[in-house]
Amino acid sequence: MRSHEQRTASAVENSEANPNGAVTGLGHVLEPGVIDVSHGTILYLDDVTVSFDGFRALDGLTLSIAPGELRCVIGPNGAGKTTMMDVVSGKTRPDSGSAFLGQTIDLTRLREPAIATAGIGRKFQKPTVFENHPVWENLELAMKADKRWLASLRARLDRAAQAKLEATLALIDLESAAYRLAGELSHGQKQRLEIGMLLMQQPALLLLDEPAAGMTDQETMELARLLDALRGTCSMMVVEHDMAFVAALAGETGMVTVMADGRVLAEGTLDAVKRDERVIVSYLGR
């Protein structure tokens, strides 16, 4: 598996070797997983607008995320957080504005499967695992969905694929549950398994929509530890309402984005945004 740094390096090499980089001018991805982050941005949204029957769910949203960053996005109900993730993952086309993965991959021109292939993995609130299959097989099936693993999986798991599967099982702390049916897992374990399934596809950017919803406090902190362990492997954008979880992820220095009314209301460390009068009024209260 290529690390984030290796992907970045090869993206730079690729753009030097080929003036078009990893994509054509039309934004069609030619080589999965190669993202040009040479300008220090993995995700760039600029002035994005999405309207539903005249109502602006996103209203000039501008936001960027650095490679390797774990960005928490908070904000009141209806702020547009899910709509923003829908734009990034290709589920919703913006009316105007731009959305780029790295320098060259125009997300507004790609369909959802192409965006997934380009390196964006999305986790929805409700865990979606194959309940009637054992945990390890869920990871193997996820791997099969990734063309890069196909050659090794055609016959049987080769050493690299096997090692990746075992490392992921350890990372999501489900080694002892490897042979249990996914349907028998607790909610927190299912959430971790689904993140593991996304990791098998080697995403460059993971979108996580309220991953801690419905979890016990202990499960929430286990999830925070897992996401912490992923730092540097992939970039992450986490939409969340649970402030204890956000505090665990952001720490003292992580950047937190506060959305309201379809745009960014404030951005800064959690401590700074919590003291921001506009954030207190529109979201956190006193």
Ligand X SMILES: Nc1ncnc2c1ncn2[C@@H]1O[C@H](COP(=O)(O)OP(=O)(O)OP(=O)(O)O)[C@@H](O)[C@H]1O
**Footprint of ligand X (CB under 6 A):** 52, 57, 75, 77-83
Distance (Å, whole) CA 176 – CA 188: 15
CB of residue 75 to ligand X, shortest distance in Å:
6
Q: Measured from the CB atom, is 33 or 80 closer to ligand X? A: 80
83/235 with CB nearer ligand X: 83
Q: 264: which 2 tokens?
A: 């960014």
Kindly tell me which of 33 and 75 has the beta carbon lying closer to ligand X: 75
Nearer to ligand X, 64 or 82 (CB): 82
Minimum Å distance from CB 87 to ligand X? 10
| Helix, strand, or coil (residue 138) | helix
Q: How far is the CB of 90 from ligand X (least distance, A)?
A: 15
Structure tokens at 239: 């939409």
51: left (phi over 0), alpha (psi -120 to 50) or beta: beta
Amino acid at 69: E
Closer residue to ligand X (CB): 42 or 48: 48
* Pick 79 or 237: Cβ nearer ligand X: 79
CA distance linking residue 202 with residue 233, whole number of Å: 9
Question: Considering beta carbons, is residue 83 or 233 the nearer one to ligand X?
Answer: 83
Minimum CB separation of residue 246 from ligand X in Å reads: 13
Least distance in angstroms from the C-beta of 126 to ligand X:
13
Which residue is it, tokens 């080694």? 175
Q: Is 213 exposed, middle or buried (0-12, 13-18, 19+ CB in 10 A)?
A: middle
Task: Quote the least distance from Cβ 161 to ligand X, whole Å.
Answer: 36
The Cα 132–Cα 192 span in angstroms is: 17
Euclidean distance between CA atoms 193 and 240, whole angstroms: 19
Which one, 194 or 210, has the nearer CB to ligand X? 210
Q: For strands 120-123 and 205-209, give the pairing.
A: parallel
CB of 76 to ligand X, least distance (A): 7
Give the distance from CA 66 to its chain's centroid: 13
| Neighbour count for residue 269 (Cβ, 10 Å) | 15
Residue 172 structure tokens: 């999501």
Cα gap 235→255, rounded to integer Å: 13
3-state class (DSSP) for residue 87: helix
List the one residue out of 120, 110, 101 whose CA is nearest residue 21.
Answer: 101
Least distance to ligand X from the beta carbon of 63, Å?
A: 13
